[in-house]
Amino acid sequence: MNKLKFAGILPALMTAFGDDGIDKDKIKRHIKRLAAAGVNGFYIGGSSGEMVLCSVDERKRLLEASVEAVGELVGQLSVIVHTGAMSTSDALDLTRHAAKTGATAVSSVTPLYYKYSFNEIKHYYEQLANASNLPVIIYNIPAITGTTLSHAQLSELLSIDNVGGMKFTSSDFFTLNLLTQEFPDKVFYNGSDEMLLSGLAAGADGGIGTTYNFIPKHIVGIYKNFRDGNITRAHELQSRANKIIDTVVRLGTLPASKYMIKLSGLDYGECREPFLPLSDAAKHELEVSAWSQIAEFEK
């Protein structure tokens, strides 16, 4: 696995829906806009993509549209697709489809809902790793999955053949730093948008996040300034981004993020139920307290 090929800023792509399911045209337009802002790749079909609200067929069509859009761009952009599912059979089906479609890597959260043992979790990742030749990026997000793995357990998962790295969505930067030292050849992504700079300082090679969909220039700026040693400027950009992130999270992360995409120039529609549309008051607050503060920078 070429670690440099995967490093950088990857928006956790949001999904646009139309009357027939996936709105491929809007998704492709959004990808091209983000690429123009300087991102290094895309994370497809994860939490931000409303994957648990999509059918397996829709998730496949989302990846196909994404790979097609990236293929039309100049330069090499990575496409990591989340293939995790409630059933292992669906996860394996999506993983094999990803390999055939042209994804760069696959990823998955730990198995959900039931309280699985660590041996069961490890076996799940071993099956994904053996399902194709694509590297597997483990998605560690204990706040959502309800599964908190120890440093030793995360190390054991990272030692599985064909596991290429981890998306680390946790504030436990001590463990992240230890893992980056223990596995220097694997790629690590910070997963908490509001703590990108902290994750980079702990050793992450880049970040994957929801708000990257509408503040890509801020996020790319944090990453590039950190790499260049301009920590003060990186901190300024993170602080400004965090004011926006705070408003978006308070009003509802996914519905508010889609409205922010609309304010940036592309009507991306609504989230699927059981998410509800934003109220007029929430939209007004996003316009006044969020978008107006960053519009000039993100143009």
If one counts every other C-beta atom within 10 angstroms of the C-beta of residue 246, the result is 13
3-state secondary structure of 26: helix
Q: Is 114 a catalytic residue?
A: no
Pairing mode, if any, of strands 17-18 and 21-22?
A: antiparallel
Active-site residue (options: 43, 124, 125, 139):
139
Tracing tokens 């790499």 back to the chain, one arrives at: 227
Question: Which residues are registered as beta bridge partners of 109?
Answer: 139
* DSSP H or E stretch at residue 207: strand 206-209
Could you give the C-alpha distances from 3 to 83, 186, 263, 279, 281, in angstroms and in order?
21, 6, 35, 43, 44
Q: Any catalytic annotation for residue 116?
A: no
- Catalytic residue, from 26, 60, 122, 167: name it: 167
What residue spans of the chain are helical by DSSP H? 3-6, 24-36, 56-71, 88-101, 118-131, 142-145, 151-158, 173-182, 196-202, 216-227, 231-251, 253-263, 280-285, 292-298
The β-bridge relationship of strands 163-168 and 8-11 is unpaired
CB 155 within 8 A of CB 122: no
Beta bridge partners of 168: 140, 190
Catalytic residues: 139, 167
